[in-house]
Every structure is written in structure tokens, then in C-alpha cells.
Amino acid sequence: MLRIIIIGLAFLLSFQTARTQTIEKKIGEIAPEIRLPSPNGDTIALSSLKTKVVLIDFWGSWCAPCVKEQPALSELYKKYKNSAFTCGNGFEIYGVSLDNKKKQWQSVIKKYKIDWVQVSDLLFWTSPVARDYGIQELPFNILIDGNGVIIAKNLHGDELKQAIKKLLK
């Protein structure tokens, strides 16, 4: 009887897992390619930043904690954008917004003077990028090296600062 219950539970669990489309990215894996439009309509590929250490910042203008984090990202960007790292030359932020209204997205970019790469398909949580990266919650970020390999995940505040500092040559 116990065996039947265990098999039944295992079946239900595997069924549920199969239905869940979340594919969590792991440290050491290559970050999947992202090719999305910037606010002015040009498509910018993540791969175009190869050789640099890149922070992929998933955010949305509607996400209060994400917006709150932007000034800290700005500081990091100014400090490290021309730095030499053990695993890349220069630092870039690739901001992927899960907005769905271009005007709101642009107004936050303007307000916080965000001068790093910004892209969005304006599909909110239905964005294929949210699925490809297995994003469960915002804010979320991924740090990749010059070869596009994931070196850290979801670090914020001091933890993020320290992680980038450690990579300096």
C-alpha cells in the first residue's frame, strides 16, 4: 500500500514539474542569448557585450524594489565600466525590463538617468526571456563573465558590490 502511495506521489510530482516551464539557470552555465529592442527601437544582443563582465538586471518600472535599486547600479556602473577584470575587460549593465508600457519604461530611464543598455519586448511577465531565465520574482539579476558564463545570481547591495570588486585584476 505504502509503495502505491509513494509511486503515486512521485508521478504527481513529476507531472507538476513537467508542466512548470521554469528553467532555472545555474552558475557555470552559458547565459542564454537575449536579443531585444532598446527604447529607440534598435535590437541589442547580449552577445554584443562579449569580453565584458555584464550584469543582466531584470526589472520593471512598476516594481518598486527594482526602481529603488537603480541609483546603486548607477554607482557601480560609473565606478567599474572601464575596469579590467580577471574574467573580462570593462563592465556593462544589460537592463531587461518586464514593462508593458513604453512610456512608463522610458520615464523611469529618464528620471534615474540610466545610461547603460536597456531593452524590453514590453510583454510583462509573458516575456519569453522571463521563461528562458526561469525568473521567479523581481528584482533579479545575473552576473556573467567575458565569455558569457554565469558567475553569480541575484546579488544585491553590498553582496553585489563585493562580488564585482573580487573580480578586479
Partner 1 sequence: MKFFTKKLYLLITFTSLVFGFMYTSSRAEEPWTSKQLMAPSDLNKIIENPNAPKTYIYSIGYQSVIKNSIDIGPGKVAENQKKFRKHLGKLPKDANIVIYCGCCPFDRCPNVRPMFNILNEMGFKNHKLLNLPQNIKVDWIDKGFAVKK
**Interface residue list for partner 1 (CB under 8 A):** 19-22, 60, 62-65, 99-101, 124-126, 130-131, 135-138
| C-beta of 77 vs 124, nearer to partner 1 | 124
| C-beta of 72 vs 123, nearer to partner 1 | 123
Give the H or E element holding residue 59.
Answer: strand 53-59
Q: Determine contact, residues 54/89, Cβ cutoff 8 Å.
A: no
| Smallest separation (angstroms) from partner 1 to the CB of 86 | 35
| Smallest separation (angstroms) from partner 1 to the CB of 104 | 9
Q: Determine contact, residues 95/59, Cβ cutoff 8 Å.
A: yes
| Smallest separation (angstroms) from partner 1 to the CB of 168 | 34
Cell numbers for 108, please give them.
523611469
| C-beta of 9 vs 23, nearer to partner 1 | 23
| C-beta of 48 vs 126, nearer to partner 1 | 126
**Cα separation of 84 and 82, whole Å?**
7
The distance in angstroms from the start CA to the end CA of the chain is 61
**Cα separation of 109 and 73, whole Å?**
13
| Smallest separation (angstroms) from partner 1 to the CB of 162 | 26
Question: How far, in Å, are 22, 84, 153 from residue 51 at the CA level?
Answer: 28, 11, 19
| C-beta of 81 vs 153, nearer to partner 1 | 153
| Smallest separation (angstroms) from partner 1 to the CB of 152 | 22
